Amino acid sequence: MKKSNVTRLPRLKSRKKRVTLRRPKKSKQEIVIDASLGLVFSSEEEILNYFEAYITFLTKSYQELQDKNEVPLENIGDLEDKVNQSIEDPDEVWMLPELPIELHGKKIPVFSFIRWYDNENYFHVLLTHVDANDEPTFIYYQFFTRDRNIVEHFRRGRMVYDQTLHSLEFAMIDGDALSEGDPLAVGLFNAMLKLRSANDVPFDKFKELGEQCRDITIESADEIWRVQDSSGNILVTFIRDFPDHGIKDLHYIVVTQQDVSSGVYGLLFSFPTNDLNLVERYRHGENLEADDINQESAH
């Protein structure tokens, strides 16, 4: 089986636990923004002077995109509270493309924290410095907007955190495209979650059963089904019954994508289930024999 070639998205370590915006460390004589880069200052004025070029550039970038006809946002509430919410629980974090300017001879990455406030119907975007401990320590600029085009401008570069992917970590197993954030794998897996019964195999069993059952299912499937979806993707599903794992009706399902030109199968995702109705939903299309798969993979 061919592993996904999508680069895995690294995640900020700070996103694995709840944190507030880290205030710069202070002593009587210095304020530490990022000791690893020598960003240690004696006053807030000195900090602003040092980062002036970045602050000016990022502020101008937003203002040039701003729709002058956008309805002003009201009832933002306590700004500090909003900052902490957006930093603690963002929907996405991006490391932006390298800015075309330097800070005193240095190219320092800028990170974009993005959160959508559904009840208020707006986005909060914070453009920040992230230190060597993966903590945001300084905000260059922040804004609230309903304009998705503006948000898209700051949703570029390398994604380092995605709330959707974070919620699916229980099912991510090394080598599958789900672990890499592949959109097809994520979409199909989320669709499966909506269909599974409330009494299906608990999420905390997914990785354990995956380690025990995934490779065996691929190598010795009871059933193999191939179907082309509405977008033209050729999906090949491997199904195997596991009667000896202490879970009644346990089946393991592996969903792959066949590359049309090479015939190679890329692993999208896999999961255990004892929901026979869910298993039945994966029995559609062309019923293949294992020998067919072996021959095609050898091409």
- Residue-range domain boundaries for the chain: 13-162, 168-297
pLDDT for position 10: 35
The alpha carbon dihedral of 26, 128, 7, 36 has a sign of negative
CA-closest candidate to residue 154, choices 58, 48, 15: 58
List, in sequence order, every residue forming a beta bridge with 113; answer none if it has no partner.
93, 126
94 three-class SS? strand
pLDDT tens-place values along the chain, 299 residues long: 333 332 233 334 433 333 334 555 555 678 999 999 999 999 999 999 999 999 999 999 999 998 776 656 666 778 888 999 999 989 999 999 999 999 999 999 999 999 999 888 899 999 999 999 999 999 999 999 999 999 999 999 988 888 877 888 899 999 999 988 888 999 999 999 999 999 999 999 999 999 999 999 999 999 999 999 988 999 999 999 999 888 999 999 999 999 988 878 999 999 999 999 999 999 999 999 766 665 454 33
How many residues are given for the chain?
299
> What residues does 94 pair with on adjacent strands?
112, 159
Question: How much is the pLDDT for 21?
Answer: 47
Query: Do 267 and 256 form a contact (C-beta atoms < 8 A)?
Result: yes
Structure tokens at 62: 């937003």
Determine the Cα–Cα distance for residues 116 and 42; give it in Å rounded to an integer: 36
Q: How far apart are CA 277 and CA 299, in angstroms?
A: 35
What span, in angstroms and rounded, lies between the C-alpha atoms of 84 and 24?
Answer: 15
Label residue 140 exposed, middle or buried (CB < 10 Å: 0-12, 13-18, 19+): middle
